Amino acid sequence: MKPPEVALRGLVLQWIDRAAKDLDAAEHLGRQPDRFQYIIAFHCQQAVEKYLKAVLVWRQIEFPKTHDIRKLLNALETPEPQLAEALGDADVLTPFGVEGRYPGDAPELLLGGEYGVLDIARRVRNGVMSRLAQYLESG
């Protein structure tokens, strides 16, 4: 059996790996933004959600099964107030997590908007990875 700290670190790394794969998919699809606009936004939302959940796992804060970025940011406010504030605008991605997957329910994303969602997702990744860097390097 793994010591608790090793198991925790492994779980954090799993969340980060999944988030990175979602962001990689969004960036790859970004080469054809007119064709994959909403799929890009979906994967950006998923990446942000998973990066935030990685921090919550690291901080050992339980969170509900949710795609709501605002709820995740609110859960981060006490242990990571600066990070939560810096990434506060990422909640604009929430509608692309579920609603954006079905015709007629998709939130509006104007052509070119995929670059904005990619920027948000990259900023979240950078903020989270910067915050977790020392923790991840120590293991």
pLDDT tens for each residue of 80-98: 999 999 999 999 999 888 7
pLDDT higher than 90, residue 43: yes
- Cβ partners under 8 Å of residue 37, min gap 6: 109, 111, 113, 114
Give the pLDDT of residue 99. 62
pLDDT of residue 118: 94
Distance, CA of 51 to CA of 57 (rounded, Å): 10
pLDDT category of residue 37 using cuts at 50, 70 and 90: confident
List all residues 6 or more positions away from 18 whose beta carbon is below 8 Å from its beta carbon.
50
Quote the percentage of the chain above a pLDDT of 90.
65
Lowest-confidence region among 17-21, 41-45, 105-109:
105-109
- Quote the pLDDT of residue 128: 98
Domain architecture of the chain: domains with CATH: 4-12+23-137 (1.20.120)
Which two tokens mark 45?
A: 């939302």
- Token representation of residue 69: 């970025």
CA neighbours closer than 13 Å in the CB half-sphere of residue 46: 21
Residues in the chain: 139
Encoded amino acid at 46, one letter:
Q
Residue 99 · residue 107 · CB < 8 Å:
yes
Determine the pLDDT at residue 135.
87
